[in-house]
C-alpha cells in the first residue's frame, strides 16, 4: 500500500477505508475481480478504485503491460491488445490533448456499484510518459470478438444467439440507467453514444456496453446532471429525433435515458437483420443506410428522422418467427418520436427474457 508516498508491502489486517484504491492483492489472479484473499489480508473485500486517490493498484498494473497489437481506432485515440501477467487486456490510449475525455471516462468506469457482467470491466487508468509526450491509458478487459459492429459484419446469428445478445445489451443498459440507493449506491447513468461499435461481444455470446466517455450521471438528491458543455454529442446516425431537432429537455435526466433507448432500437435492428432463420438473413447494414450518406450530417439525419419521420424498415418475414416478431415490436416502441412513449431499458429486458424461442416458423 502507499505509506508516505512510497509503496510498501503490508501483511496485516486493514480497514475497508485503508483498502480503497491503495492496495493491490498479488494473490488475485483474476485482475478484473481484484478480490483480496485471506492469504493477503484478513478483510477479503473487493477493492473499489476511486479516481482521485493515489491509485497504486492501477499504476502497478498499467506499467507492467506489454502492448501487442493495435486493434482499432476510436474517437479519442487508439485501442491496443496488451499482455499483463499472461492475460490479454485492452488498452485505450488517449493523447494528452484529450485528457478531459480520458479523465471523464476513467471516472465513469470507477462509479461505485457500476460493475456488471454486461458493462465492460474496467481495470486501470494511468498516464505514461514515453520521453517525448504523455500517453493516457485506460485498461479494460479484452474481448477477442471485438465490437458488435465487427461481429455482425463477419457472422450471422441464430435465433437463440440474437436473443442472448439483445438481452445482455438491454441488461447492461438497464443497469446503467438504474439508480441504486444507499451509502454504497450508484447514480443513474445515461450513455449518450449507444451504437454497435460501442458494444463488445464476449466469448460466451453475450455482450458488454463500452465507451462511457460521453456518459452523464444524475444526482437524485440535488437533481443535478453532470453534463458536459456540448449537449449534441454522440454519433449522428444514432441520434434521437429530439437531439437532432434540439427539442430535448436538458433539465430532465429522463430525456437522456429515452435518447439511449431510441439508439438501442437501432442496434437491435442491426442485430435482427443478421439473424438466420432457415438460412434466410439480411446483409449487414447500418441504420438508415438507404436514406442518408455514409457520413451523414445532423441536417441529413434531421430531414429523414424528424421531417420525413422515417425509420429503418422491418422485413415482413420477421412476422413468421416469434423472436424476430418480438424484436420488431420492441424496435418500433423504442423509435417513437414522442420520447415519453418509448420503452424503458428494464421493460425491454423483461420482454426479451420472456421470449420463448420458437425454432419452427409458424405454419
Q: Please give the positions annotated as active site.
A: 193
Instruction: Please name which of 5, 111, 116 lies closest in space to residue 59, comparing C-alpha atoms.
Output: 5
Residues 6 or more apart whose CB falls under 8 angstroms from that of 272 comprise: 162, 318, 324, 327, 328, 331
Q: What is the rounded distance in angstroms from the CA atom of residue 138 to the CA atom of residue 155?
A: 29
- Strand-by-strand arrangement of the 188-190 sheet: 188-190, 216-219, 224-225
* Segments in 110-225 forming alpha helices (H): 148-154, 159-177
Cβ-based neighbour number of residue 229 at 10 Å? 5
Residues 6 or more apart whose CB falls under 8 angstroms from that of 279 comprise: none
Instruction: Judge whether 126 and 103 are in contact, CB under 8 Å.
Output: no
Instruction: Judge whether 287 and 238 are in contact, CB under 8 Å.
Output: yes
Q: What is the rounded distance in angstroms from the CA atom of residue 187 to the CA atom of residue 206?
A: 25
92 is in an annotated binding site: yes
Angle at 17 between CA 123 and CA 19, to 5 degrees: 40
Length of the chain counted residue by residue:
363
DSSP-derived secondary structure letter, 238: G
The annotation places the binding site at: 92
The annotation places the binding site for ATP at: 92
Amino acid at each position: 500500500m502507499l505509506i508516505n508516498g512510497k509503496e510498501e508491502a503490508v501483511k496485516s489486517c486493514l480497514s475497508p477505508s485503508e483498502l480503497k484504491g491503495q492496495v493491490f492483492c498479488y494473490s488475485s489472479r483474476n485482475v478484473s475481480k481484484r478480490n483480496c484473499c485471506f492469504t493477503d489480508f484478513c478483510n477479503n473485500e473487493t477493492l473499489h478504485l476511486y479516481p482521485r486517490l493515489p491509485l497504486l493498484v492501477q499504476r502497478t498494473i498499467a506499467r507492467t503491460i506489454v502492448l501487442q497489437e493495435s486493434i482499432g481506432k476510436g474517437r479519442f485515440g487508439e485501442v491496443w491488445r496488451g499482455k499483463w501477467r499472461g492475460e490479454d487486456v485492452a488498452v485505450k490510449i488517449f493523447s494528452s490533448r484529450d485528457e478531459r475525455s480520458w479523465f471523464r471516462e476513467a471516472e465513469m468506469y470507477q462509479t461505485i456499484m457500476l460493475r456488471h457482467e454486461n458493462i465492460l470491466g474496467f481495470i486501470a487508468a494511468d498516464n505514461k510518459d514515453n520521453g517525448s509526450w504523455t500517453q493516457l491509458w485506460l485498461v479494460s478487459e479484452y474481448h477477442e470478438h471485438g465490437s458488435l459492429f465487427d461481429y455482425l459484419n463477419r457472422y450471422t446469428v441464430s435465433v437463440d444467439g440474437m436473443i442472448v445478445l439483445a438481452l445482455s445489451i438491454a441488461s447492461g443498459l438497464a443497469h446503467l440507467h438504474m439508480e441504486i440507493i444507499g451509502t454504497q449506491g450508484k447514480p443513474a447513468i445515461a450513455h449518450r453514444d449507444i451504437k454497435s461499435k460501442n458494444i463488445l461481444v464476449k466469448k460466451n455470446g453475450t455482450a458488454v456496453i463500452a465507451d462511457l466517455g460521453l456518459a452523464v450521471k444524475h444526482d437524485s438528491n440535488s437533481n443535478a446532471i453532470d453534463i458536459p458543455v456540448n449537449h449534441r454529442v454522440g454519433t449522428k446516425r444514432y441520434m434521437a429525433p429530439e437531439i437532432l431537432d434540439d427539442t430535448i429537455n436538458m433539465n430532465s435526466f429522463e430525456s437522456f435515458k429515452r435518447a439511449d433507448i431510441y439508439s438501442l432500437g437501432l442496434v437491435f435492428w442491426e442485430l435482427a437483420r443478421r439473424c438466420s432463420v432457415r438460412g434466410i438473413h439480411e446483409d449487414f447494414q447500418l441504420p438508415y443506410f438507404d436514406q442518408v450518406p455514409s457520413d451523414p450530417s445532423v441536417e441529413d439525419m434531421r430531414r429523414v428522422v424528424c421531417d420525413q419521420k422515417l425509420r429503418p424498415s422491418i422485413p415482413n418475414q420477421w412476422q413468421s418467427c416469434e423472436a424476430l416478431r418480438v424484436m420488431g415490436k420492441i424496435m418500433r416502441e423504442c423509435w417513437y418520436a414522442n420520447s415519453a412513449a418509448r420503452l424503458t431499458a428494464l421493460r425491454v429486458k423483461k420482454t426479451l427474457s420472456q421470449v420463448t424461442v420458437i425454432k419452427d416458423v409458424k405454419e
